[in-house]
Amino acid sequence: ASGEAAAAVEAEEGGAGAEAAAILSPAPSGREPATPSFSSPDHDADPDGTAAAAARMALDDVAPVPGTDRYFVPLRLACESKLPRIMEVSLHCIQKIIAYGYVRGKVAGEKPFVDVVMETICSCKDEEDKEVQLQIVQAVNTAVTSAVTAVHDTTLLLAVKTCFYIYLVSKNGTIQKTANATLTQMLDVVFARLESPGASSMAQKDAFLVFRSLCKLSMKPLPEPLPADDSIELRSKLLSLQLLYSIIASSGERFRGGEKFVWAIRQYLCLSLLKNGVSPIPAILQLSLDIFVTLIKYFKAHLKSEIGVFFSNILLRILESSNSSGPQKRLTIQALRVLVAEPQLMVDLFLNYDCDLEGKGIFTSMCDGLSRLTLTLQALSETTEQDAQLKQLALETLVAIADSMVAWERDVKAEGAGAAVTPVGQRPPSIADSSSVSMVGPEPSPVHRGGGEAAGEAGQSPGGGEAGGEVTAVVASRESVDFEAMFHRKHEVHEGVIKFNMKPKRGIRYLREVCGLEDTPQAVARFLRETDGLDKRAVGDYLGEGEDFCKQVLYAYVDSIDFANLTFDQALRRFLTHFWLPGEAQKIDRMMEKFAERYCSQNEGVFANADTAYVLAYSLIMLNTDAHSSQIKKKMTQQEFVNMNRGINDSGDLPTPFLESLYQAITTNEIKIKEMMEHERRAAAASNDAARTSRSKLFNLESAIMVKESQELFKAKARKRAVYHSSRNVEHARPMFEACWCALLASWSTIMEERYDDAVPVELVALVMRGFANAVHIAAEFGMATERDAFVTMLAKYTYLDSGKTMGGRNIEAFKTILSLALTDGDHLGGAWAQVLKCLSEFQRLHMIGTGAKTDASIFFPAARAGANGAAGLPPPGAPGLVSPPSGRLTARQQSILIQPARVRNSSKDAEVEAVNSATMVDSVDVVAIDRIFSGSAQLNADAIVEFVTHLCAVSREELDAAGDPQVYSLQKIVEVAYYNMSRVRLVWARIWEVLSEFFAEVGQHPNLSIAMYAVDSLRQLATKFLEREELLNYQFQREFLKPFQDLMGAAKSVEVRDLILVCLGHMVQSRARSIRSGWSSLFGVLSLAAADPLSSVAKAGFDLARDTVREHFALIGDHHAEGVSCIAGYLRQRPHVDIALSAAHCLADYAKLLHAAAAADGATGAAAGGAARGA
Active-site positions? 584
Cα 307 to Cα 299: distance, rounded to the nearest angstrom? 9
User: Does residue 357 contact residue 722 with C-beta atoms inside 8 Å?
Assistant: no
Cα 976 to Cα 890: distance, rounded to the nearest angstrom? 12
The 3-class SS string of 751-764 reads: HHCCCCCCCCCHHH
Cα 357 to Cα 445: distance, rounded to the nearest angstrom? 9
* Helix then strand then coil, % of the chain, to nearest 5: 65, 0, 30
Q: At a CB cut-off of 8 Å and minimum separation 6, what does 1165 contact?
A: 1158, 1159
- Whole-angstrom CA distances from 499 to 294, 494, 535, 552, 651 are 40, 9, 10, 22, 47
Q: At a CB cut-off of 8 Å and minimum separation 6, what does 1171 contact?
A: none
- Whole-angstrom CA distances from 203 to 150, 153, 197, 600 are 10, 9, 11, 55
Q: At a CB cut-off of 8 Å and minimum separation 6, what does 520 contact?
A: 446
User: Does residue 745 contact residue 774 with C-beta atoms inside 8 Å?
Assistant: no
DSSP classification of residue 830 = G
DSSP secondary structure of 860-910: HSHHHHHHHHHHHTPPPTT-TTSS---SSPPPHHHHHT--------SSHHH
Cα 788 to Cα 223: distance, rounded to the nearest angstrom? 54
Cα 937 to Cα 948: distance, rounded to the nearest angstrom? 8
Q: Measured on CA atoms in the order 301, 306, 312, 316, is the torsion positive or negative?
A: negative
User: Does residue 27 contact residue 271 with C-beta atoms inside 8 Å?
Assistant: no
ω into 880 cis (within 30 of 0): no
Which alpha helices (H) appear in 440-560, and where do they start and end? 483-502, 504-513, 521-530, 536-543, 548-559
DSSP secondary structure of 916-963: HHHHHHHHH--HHHHHHHHHGGGGS-HHHHHHHHHHHHHHHHHHHTST
- Whole-angstrom CA distances from 1129 to 1099, 1140, 1159 are 13, 11, 20
Which amino acid is it at 355? C
Cα 486 to Cα 500: distance, rounded to the nearest angstrom? 21
CA angle (656 as vertex; 653, 661 as ends), nearest 5 = 130
Cα 1146 to Cα 1154: distance, rounded to the nearest angstrom? 12
**Bridge pairing between strands 723-724 and 111-112:** unpaired
Looking only at Cα atoms, what is the longest distance across the chain? 145
Cα 216 to Cα 91: distance, rounded to the nearest angstrom? 30
Q: Determine the distance from the C-alpha atom of residue 797 to the mean position of all C-alpha atoms in its chain, rounded to a whole number.
A: 24
Q: Measured on CA atoms in the order 52, 56, 59, 60, is the torsion positive or negative?
A: negative
- Full strand arrangement of the beta sheet holding 723-724: 472-473, 437-438, 723-724
Instruction: Please classify residue 80 by burial: count the beta carbons closer than 10 Å to its beta carbon, then call 0-12 exposed, 13-18 middle and 19+ buried.
Output: middle
